[in-house]
């Protein structure tokens, strides 16, 4: 043991040295470094959590925007549909108006026609009376009292259809 130098003094001294270094490094090195490493990993975790939250919030916002766009699109479609319906109604009204117009025009035309026909019949009868008188004069060859005759014929014509029918 002497030869390689084992000695209790040396052993004790080196044990004490180790203890001193152990304490020194624990307080000057291990604890501070451990603390800073833990703190850093905590920070990193926090910022990753934050990033996660931001991502979630962004997704929510996106969803909301999408919903709003969707709502706007639906509204637009509604408006277009309403406009279409309104146009349809206007068209319908115009058609009805036109038909009424046409009907009234037709009614007026019919009245006119009736009136003209009545006039033509009247005219025709007058001419027929004259013609009949002329013909009668020629047949009888006698100058008759024109006024008297006319009255006579008118009477006949008035009663004619009744007397015969």
Q: Which string of x and - marks every residue 12-51 that binds another protein (by CB under 8 A)?
A: -xxx-xx-xxx-xxx-xxx-xxxxxx-xx--x--------
CB nearer to another protein: give 30 or 128. Answer: 30
Give the Cα separation of 24 and 16 in Å (integer). Answer: 12
Q: What one-character DSSP code corresponds to residue 142? A: S
Structure tokens at 151: 């009255």
| Least Å from the CB of residue 55 to another protein | 24
DSSP-derived 3-state class of residue 144: coil
Question: Does residue 106 belong to the site contacting another protein (CB under 8 A)?
Answer: no
Q: How far is CA 41 from CA 38, 46, 47, 52, 84, in A?
A: 5, 9, 10, 16, 64
* 149 close to 136: Cβ distance less than 8 angstroms: yes
In which element (H, E) is residue 135 found? helix 31-140
Question: Does residue 80 belong to the site contacting another protein (CB under 8 A)?
Answer: no
CB nearer to another protein: give 20 or 59. Answer: 20
* Segment contacting another protein by CB under 8 A, of 9-17, 61-69, 74-82, 145-153: 9-17
The binding site for another protein (CB under 8 A) comprises 2-7, 9-11, 13-15, 17-18, 20-22, 24-26, 28-30, 32-37, 39-40, 43
């Amino acid at each position: 043991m002497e030869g390689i130098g084992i000695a209790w003094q040396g052993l004790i001294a080196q044990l004490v040295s180790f203890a001193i270094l152990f304490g020194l490094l624990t307080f000057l090195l291990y604890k501070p470094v451990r603390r800073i490493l833990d703190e850093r990993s905590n920070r990193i975790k926090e910022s990753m959590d934050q990033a996660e939250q931001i991502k979630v919030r962004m997704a929510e916002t996106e969803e909301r925007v999408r919903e709003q766009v969707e709502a706007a699109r639906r509204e637009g479609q509604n408006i277009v549909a309403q406009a279409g319906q309104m146009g349809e109604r206007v068209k319908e009204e115009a058609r009805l108006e036109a038909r009424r117009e046409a009907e009234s025009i037709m009614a007026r035309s019919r009245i006119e026609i009736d009136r003209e026909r009545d006039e033509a019949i009247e005219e025709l009868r007058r001419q027929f009376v004259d013609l009949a008188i002329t013909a009668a004069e020629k047949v009888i060859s006698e100058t008759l009292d024109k006024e008297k005759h006319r009255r006579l014929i008118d009477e006949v014509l008035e009663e004619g259809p009744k007397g015969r029918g």
